[in-house]
Amino acid sequence: MISKLPTYLVRHLAGNLEELSCFVQLEDESAAMYFNIVHGSKLRRKFTTEHSGRRCDDYVLIAREIRTDGSTEDRAVALFDLTSCSGKQR
C-alpha cells in the first residue's frame, strides 16, 4: 500500500549536505516540530514553517511524496529559525 502522507526530511544545504529524517507526518509544521524534538538539541537549532523570524538559508524541509507508479516527487518547504536571528549555527 502506498501512503498518501509525505515522508519528510530536513536537508542541510551547507557543509556536508546532511539529511535528517522526520518520517511520515500529517503536515509541514508537524515535520518541523518533530525535527525540533528529535534533532533540535543536537544541532542547537529549532525551526518552524510559519513566516516568523528570519528564513533559514542553510536548512530546508523536504516533503517526499510517493506516487502510485513508484516515482517520487520532492517539495521544498522554507524553514524559519526559532533559535537565532542570524540563521547561522552557533
∠ CA 76-63-61, nearest 5°, is 55
What is the pLDDT, as a whole number, of residue 70? 86
**Phi then psi for 41, rounded to 5 degrees?**
-70, -35
Tell me whether residue 87 is in a domain.
Answer: no
Residue 1 belongs to some domain of the structure:
no
Number of domains in the chain: 1
Q: How far apart are the first and last CA of the chain?
A: 42
User: What tens digit of pLDDT does each residue of 10-67 get?
Assistant: 999 988 889 999 999 999 999 999 999 999 999 999 999 999 878 999 999 999 998 8
Q: How far apart are CA 39 and CA 10, in angstroms?
A: 10
Q: Which three cell numbers stand for residue 54?
A: 528570519
* Of 12 and 68, more confident: 12
| H or E element, residue 61 | strand 54-66
Q: Is residue 2 part of a domain?
A: no
List % helix, strand, coil for the chain (3-state, nearest 5). Answer: 15, 40, 40
Residue 63, pLDDT score: 97
Q: Is the pTM of this model over 0.75?
A: yes
* 89 falls within a domain: no
45 lies in which domain range? Answer: 7-81
